[in-house]
């Protein structure tokens, strides 16, 4: 094929353009006396300012990328740019400070102090960073690998037809598979088509036609914007086809090989495609025009693998008898002829920093070569025959092959995980963009998706996509199954819920009747308290009625007692007076006896009169005392009589108070019990309401499920008839007639052309 008419204009390709890698932001600190300069802190800022514009990534002049020590040591077309420890032999120095031509940077001179930093850095061993011991004296050591940041999200085409272009009952092996570097998307090769599926759920995204034959190599471009398939028909024609992953449309077809293409890869900037096959010549074509850029002719056997380095500087190719070459991507000049690996190179993968190439070999080994000097860094047995290999951005290797299971290995070749077995040898592998899933494609035509963390199988995808009619039948059957299961799940739940509702009903009734009982009890106790209170009031009244009279009698009794005391005192006084009068009389008597003294006689007669008077007074006081005693006695006895009346009433009043207090205590206990019962009844009511609501909801779900089941059962026969009809009409080698739906892929002229000449 000459320049294909369908080719996207160059502008379209530029629009997909390769974005230069993120510029690492290294702080530029002054060189300290103690520490010799290192690349990260001292040299990179200088090179970034003066050199990166021409010496970075795919645009590097003379293939010299100055963005890392490794790249500098790998050098450009004149070999390593720096000889650690010897600035005089270092090309980088010769052209910048050494006065040799071509002077770098062209037409400008680096300031003296910056030149001094470059020189000191080279002489101190070209250290990567402050912790680096210097690479000057170093033999074969593994350069530290820091995974670069991810390229960012990649597109997933939308609205593609899911209708395959070919269909057959049987499935061939998964001949090729690729995952997008920035999206949950996997492309799986099938007979004359590519099936796009989302990971990890295996949801179909679309089918792309490859009418040109069998696909042997699939890959996404570094940005994920282009999907490339290499393939064709044996001893007839080989080519590579690129699709735009934003739209699913074909972008270009390149190559016109006399035999099918076995290996194909697209440069990270989308500008060129390298391909090869049984013709033994690897050819690089420009995607914009389809023109052949150059041929790589060193291989002596079928070319079986080809991969550009992620930085776009190098291209690696491998062949059926173990020949292995690394080329300058932009010039086609040989960069390394790696030592032959002795058996078929089945797969190639680059480490994300482009410094290490991993080679999968049919003898079961994986060999890692470093680009710095083309030497083997490591080799290890990964399988009895490695048929496929992938390398994650983080540096995890995934291999599979004859041993019928995927295995992961770290950069040192240590086995990390062994995935579940697949039936028969594995023909393709890929790691998902986020590194969480490993996809293993087998000779049985199925791709199995394993979760790396657990090693467990998460899903299986057919490489051979099914037709929309068949999908409709499957979907209709799944629908029937789903709703049947849903009905089966819900029916017993509804029954259970009914039972539990009647349980809650009973609980509620019991709680209500307890509440009523308690209420009645509380009421009765209230009545009792009222009665007791009335009784107590009556008893108090009875006491109060007697109280004034009792008070009067008490007072009177006290008065009488006082009077009695007064009478006693008076009697005592008059007795004393009597005694004195009697004494005076007897004294006067004695004096007057025998004497005629008239005075003495007078005095005796007076004393006699006084004594008689005192005796009379004493008699009167004695009588008064007797009277007072009688009155006091009377008052006492009258009081006692009243107290005898009052005391029982007081006792009765006290008893009534006590009885009231206990009735009141009973009442408040009963009220508390009522409150409890009320709360319990409320809770029971809420529980019953909730159960009723659940039942309503479940019953609603069940109804809905039954309706959906009926609908699904009704829809199924039509889908089945359509699928049967399609199967009858799939006569001509599995070609599927477009089912009328919109189909981006089928709109491709190539697919149409294939359809008209396919018979
Ligand atoms: C304006 C673009 C430009 C800038 C800036 C530039 N170079 Fe160059 N450089 C070139 C070109 C063009 C060549 C190829 C010259 C030739 O082969 O004649 C080259 C070649 C080289 C080479 C030889 C590579 C090889 O293997 O052949 C070295 C080393 C080099 N440059 C170092 C530097 C350094 C260091 C700086 C910054 C201080 C720098 N260049 C800045 C354009 C540039």
CA–centroid distance, 55 to ligand 1, in Å, is 7
* Per-residue pLDDT tens digits for 662-692: 999 999 999 999 999 999 999 999 999 999 9
Q: Which residues of 143-162 are buried (b: 16+ CB within 10 A; e: fewer)?
A: beeeebeebeebbbbeebbb
Task: Give start-end residues of each CATH 1.10.287.620 domain in the chain.
Answer: 472-729
Beta carbon of 51 within 6 Å of any ligand 1 atom: yes
DSSP state of 373: T
Which of 1-15, 175-189, 499-513, 632-646 has the least mean pLDDT? 1-15
Report residue 57 as tokens: 């990534």
Q: Which residue's alpha carbon is at the smallest distance from atom 28 of ligand 1?
A: 92
Tell me if the pTM is above 0.85. no
Beta carbon of 678 within 6 Å of any ligand 1 atom: no
Model confidence at 107, pLDDT cuts 50, 70, 90, reads confident
Q: Which residue's alpha carbon is at the smallest distance from atom 13 of ligand 1?
A: 61
Beta carbon of 91 within 6 Å of any ligand 1 atom: yes
Q: Is 104 buried (19+), middle (13-18) or exposed (0-12) by CB count in 10 A?
A: buried
Beta carbon of 338 within 6 Å of any ligand 1 atom: no
Beta carbon of 614 within 6 Å of any ligand 1 atom: no
Question: pLDDT at residue 5 above 70?
Answer: no
Q: What average pLDDT does the segment 205-232 reach?
A: 95
Q: What average pLDDT does the segment 55-70 reach?
A: 82
Q: Which residue's alpha carbon is at the smallest distance from atom 29 of ligand 1?
A: 92
Task: Give start-end residues of each CATH 2.130.10.10 domain in the chain.
Answer: 177-465
Mutation test of ligand 1: which of 39, 50, 53, 55 has the most ligand atoms closer than 8 Å to its C-beta?
55
Beta carbon of 58 within 6 Å of any ligand 1 atom: no
* Per-residue pLDDT tens digits for 340-371: 999 999 999 999 999 999 999 999 999 999 99
Report residue 183 as tokens: 């999206």
**Chain Cα centroid distance, residue 259:** 51
pLDDT of residue 717: 93
- Terminal-residue alpha carbon distance, the chain: 21
d(CA 721, CA 712): 15
Which architecture characterizes domain 177-465 according to CATH? 7 Propeller (2.130)
Model confidence at 738, pLDDT cuts 50, 70, 90, reads low
Residues with Cβ within 8 Å of residue 623, at least 6 apart in sequence: none
pLDDT of residue 144: 58
At the top level of CATH, the class of 472-729 is mainly alpha
Asked whether the CA dihedral 78, 83, 86, 87 is positive or negative, the reply is positive
CA–centroid distance, 744 to ligand 1, in Å, is 46
Q: Which residue's alpha carbon is at the smallest distance from atom 16 of ligand 1?
A: 102
Beta carbon of 5 within 6 Å of any ligand 1 atom: no
CA–centroid distance, 105 to ligand 1, in Å, is 6
Report residue 153 as tokens: 């999200």
* Per-residue pLDDT tens digits for 197-210: 998 888 899 999 99
CA–centroid distance, 128 to ligand 1, in Å, is 21
């Amino acid at each position: 094929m000459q320049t294909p008419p369908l080719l996207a204009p160059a502008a379209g390709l530029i629009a997909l353009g390769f974005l230069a890698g993120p510029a690492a932001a290294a702080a530029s600190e002054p060189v300290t006396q103690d520490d010799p300069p290192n690349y990260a802190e001292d040299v990179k800022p200088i090179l970034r300012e003066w050199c990166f514009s021409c010496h970075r990534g795919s645009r590097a002049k003379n293939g010299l990328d100055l963005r890392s020590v490794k790249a500098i040591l790998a050098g450009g077309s004149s070999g390593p740019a720096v000889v650690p420890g010897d600035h005089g032999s270092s090309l980088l120095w010769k052209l910048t400070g050494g006065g040799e031509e071509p002077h770098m940077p062209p037409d400008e001179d680096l300031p003296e102090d910056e030149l001094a930093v470059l020189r000191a850095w080279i002489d101190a061993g070209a250290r990567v960073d402050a912790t680096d011991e210097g690479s000057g004296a170093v033999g074969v050591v593994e350069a530290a690998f820091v995974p670069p940041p991810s390229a960012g999200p990649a597109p997933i085409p939308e609205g593609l037809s899911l209708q395959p272009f070919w269909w057959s009952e049987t499935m061939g092996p998964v001949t090729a598979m690729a995952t997008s570097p920035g999206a949950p998307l996997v492309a799986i090769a099938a007979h004359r088509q590519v099936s796009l599926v989302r990971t990890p759920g295996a949801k179909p995204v679309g089918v792309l036609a490859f009418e040109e034959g069998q696909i042997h190599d699939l890959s996404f471009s570094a940005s994920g914007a282009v999907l490339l398939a290499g393939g064709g028909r044996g001893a007839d024609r080989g080519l590579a086809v690129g699709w735009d992953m934003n739209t699913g449309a074909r972008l270009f077809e390149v190559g016109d090989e006399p035999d099918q293409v076995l290996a194909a890869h697209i440069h990270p900037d989308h500008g060129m495609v390298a391909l090869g096959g049984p013709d033994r010549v690897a050819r690089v074509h420009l995607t914009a025009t389809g023109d052949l850029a150059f041929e790589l002719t060193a291989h002596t056997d079928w070319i079986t693998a080809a991969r550009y380095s992620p930085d776009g500087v190098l291209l690696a190719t491998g062949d059926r008898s173990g020949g292995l070459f690394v080329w300058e991507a932009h010039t086609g000049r040989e960069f390394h002829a790696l030592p032959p690996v002795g058996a078929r190179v089945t797969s190639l993968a680059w480490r994300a920093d482009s410094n290490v190439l991993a080679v999968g070999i049919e003898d079961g080994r994986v060999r890692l070569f470093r680009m710095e000097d083309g030497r083997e860094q490591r080799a290890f047995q990964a399988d009895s025959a490695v048929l496929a290999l992938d390398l994650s951005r983080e540096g995890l290797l995934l291999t599979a092959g004859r041993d019928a299971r995927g295995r992961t290995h770290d950069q040192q070749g240590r086995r990390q995980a062994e995935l579940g077995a697949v039936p028969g040898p594995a023909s393709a592998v890929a790691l998902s963009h986020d590194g969480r899933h490993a996809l293993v494609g087998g000779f049985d035509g199925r791709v199995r998706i394993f979760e790396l963390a657990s090693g467990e199988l998460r899903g299986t995808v057919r490489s051979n996509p099914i037709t929309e009619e068949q999908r409709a039948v499957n979907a209709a059957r799944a629908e029937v199954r789903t709703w049947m299961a849903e009905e089966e799940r819900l029916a017993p739940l509804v029954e259970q819920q009914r039972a539990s509702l009647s349980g809650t009903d009973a609980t509620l009734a019991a709680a209500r009747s307890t509440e009523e009982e308690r209420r009645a009890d509380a009421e009765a106790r209230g009545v009792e308290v009222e009665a007791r209170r009335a009784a107590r009031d009556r008893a108090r009244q009875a006491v109060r009625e007697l109280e004034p009279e009792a008070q009067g009698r008490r007072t009177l009794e006290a008065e009488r007692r006082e009077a009695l005391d007064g009478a006693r005192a008076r009697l005592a006084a008059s007795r004393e007076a009597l005694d004195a009068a009697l004494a005076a009389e007897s004294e006067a008597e004695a004096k007057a006896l025998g004497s005629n003294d008239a005075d003495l006689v007078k005095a005796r007669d007076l004393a006699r009169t006084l004594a008689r008077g005192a005796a009379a007074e004493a008699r009167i006081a004695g009588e008064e005392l007797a009277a007072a005693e009688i009155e006091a006695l009377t008052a006492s006895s009258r009081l006692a009589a009243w107290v005898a009346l009052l005391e029982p009433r007081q006792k009765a009043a006290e008893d009534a108070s006590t009885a009231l207090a206990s009735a009141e205590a009973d009442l408040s206990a009963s009220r508390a019990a009522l409150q409890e019962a009320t709360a319990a009844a409320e809770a029971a009511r809420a529980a019953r309401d909730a159960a009723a609501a659940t039942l309503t909801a479940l019953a609603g779900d069940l109804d809905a499920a039954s309706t959906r089941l009926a609908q699904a059962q009704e829809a199924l026969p039509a889908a089945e008839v359509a699928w049967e009809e399609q199967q009858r009409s799939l006569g001509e080698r599995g070609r599927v007639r477009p089912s009328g739906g919109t189909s981006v892929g089928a709109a491709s002229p190539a697919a149409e052309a294939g359809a008209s000449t396919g018979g």
